[in-house]
Chain A
Amino acid sequence: MTQQSASLTPPLRRTPLFERHVAAGARMVEFAGWEMPIQYEGILAEARAVRSSAGIFDVSHMGRFEITGADAAAFLSRVLTREVAGMRNQRARYTLICNQAGGIIDDTIVYRRGVEQFLLVPNAANASEVLGWLVRWREEWGQDVEFNVVTRETALIALQGPNAEAILQPNCAVDLSNFPAFRSVEAPVFGVQAVVGRTGYTGEDGFEMVLPAEAAPDVWNRLADAGATPCGLGARDVLRLEAGLLLHGSDMDATVTPLEAGLDRFVSWDTGEFIGLAAMQQMQGAGLSRVLVGFHLLERGIPRHGNDILDGETVVGSVTSGTHSPTLDMGIGLGYVAMGAPEPGTRLKIDIRGRRVEAEVASIPFYSRRR
């Protein structure tokens, strides 16, 4: 038996919860320069726990930048694809950072904490590039805005699943029954001051909490004691793909635009001016040569990143993410295709290491929770 791909390269960064993961017997792997848990009990069991009850994820490897200053809102409105000047306090937004060609440098969540105070959460693999990008444009525009990287002194814990509110409410002063999606608040959680957002990356209800690093292990333990299942990045990847959420570096990168990635709803077309808008408008007029589609397999098998996508005998694209969906019990995936904008139900074939497997275009998300 030989694994077809593997990677492990030191030296690696560790989150404030590293000791907790190792003590719990999690399998640790390298991810974006960090030593992270890929699984505890098993990816499928963890994914099931999040769909049916609740799970906790250590996502402290993601960046956390405090962005402050008189020009902070104006600055971010020019850097992010969604304007934030009109964003109310205690709100969170999913947004993209694009280059001048409209290519996606990263996808992030921005939290508004005050008139001149924001928190930006970039992906771990892109954090340093994003910081460099922000600094570059601040110098270019000469704006009054400060960046304070708090990744090291904080932790980020995601609590996700239908029982998330029930688990958090007894330990959080805010009335969570009146705290809708993409709301954020600064409030004590288990007695520790935290930024709490009703956000996530699993397709379930839930919260993401930025906490002081030293308090994170205790909060983690107490969430687990309250019934949340510790989950690794393996389950997180399965859950986000079932929910049709893209992963930067796999499903999008600086060579594709929000239009091609199907993320145009996260672009403020009509308000303001931001980097990449002109290129996107031009592309919108000219039409798209490829678009991201979701698909599921009609036969047994698991699509993987890099597999060819065929329309009949013609290769029309390649898979960017694929997995076995435990919730749907079928192979699912995302990929870019050059064949117009195929409707759900359109037949495709996926070349899985030489075996051509029948598939069809599916609507994204593959899985939606009951509300």
Chain B
Amino acid sequence: MHPEDRRYSREHEWARDEGDGTVLVGITDYAQEHLGDIVFLELPPVGTQLDRNQKFGEVESVKSVSDIFSPVSGEVVAVNDVVVDSPEMVNEDPHGSGWLVRLRPSQPSEMDELMSAADYESMLESLE
């Protein structure tokens, strides 16, 4: 359910090393399921410098608003314009075309401190 090719934060973001010095960031399937229909996303402009765990945007469903935090430190090098225009994409494909931002990490070792898919799912079980 949560792919093993990426790392996960306690705040339900995922980060995938793209192998080109950048990391793709999105929210997890659990997060989108929990939020329900997403209708609005606020994402930072390209060039924004983010610290680890810094709030970088908001994801808003019909019934609630949630902050999104950066799983690693780095610079925003791309924003997924498709999901800004079609927020339902995050519900439909949270781990794929529903990605949110691409970062250039300033501390690549921070990736190692995030959870594996198995650890993340264990955490989810403890939340149930």
Contacts and interface: CB of A to CB of B under 8 A. Distances in A.
A43 B66 CA distance: 17
A3 B37 contact: no
B62 A323 contact: yes
A1 B69 contact: yes
Given A1-B12, A1-B31, A2-B11, A324 B64 contact: no
A43 B36 contact: yes
B36 A2 contact: no
A318 interface: no
Contact of B36 (A4, A5, A234, A304): A234
A38 B31 CA distance: 17
A1 B13 contact: yes
Contact of A2 (B37, B39, B62, B67): B67
Q: How large is the interface on A (under 10, 10 to 19, 20 to 34, 35 or more residues)?
A: 20 to 34
Q: How large is the interface on B (under 10, 10 to 19, 20 to 34, 35 or more residues)?
A: 20 to 34
B72 interface: no
Contacts of A44: 37, 39, 62
Is chain A's binding surface mostly helix, strand, loop or mixed?
Answer: mixed
A108 interface: no
Contact of B66 (A4, A300, A324): A4
Given A1-B11, A1-B13, A234 B40 contact: no
Contacts of A43: 36-37, 61-63
Interface centre among B13, B31, B37 (most CB of A within 10 A): B37
Interface string A197-208: 000000000000
A300 B40 contact: yes
A237 B63 CA distance: 9
Interface in A287-336: 300-302, 304, 323-324, 326
B50 interface: no
A43 B88 CA distance: 12
A1 B40 contact: no
- Most chain A CB inside 10 Å of its own CB: which residue of B11, B59, B62, B64: B62
Contacts of B60: 302, 324
A63 B21 CA distance: 60
21 contacts: A1-B59, A1-B66, A1-B68, A2-B67, A2-B69, A3-B64, A3-B66, A4-B64, A4-B65, A4-B67, A6-B64, A42-B37, A43-B61, A44-B39, A234-B62, A300-B40, A302-B40, A323-B62, A324-B62, A326-B39, A326-B62
Given A3-B65, A326-B39, 5 more contacts: A1-B31, A2-B66, A42-B91, A234-B62, A302-B65
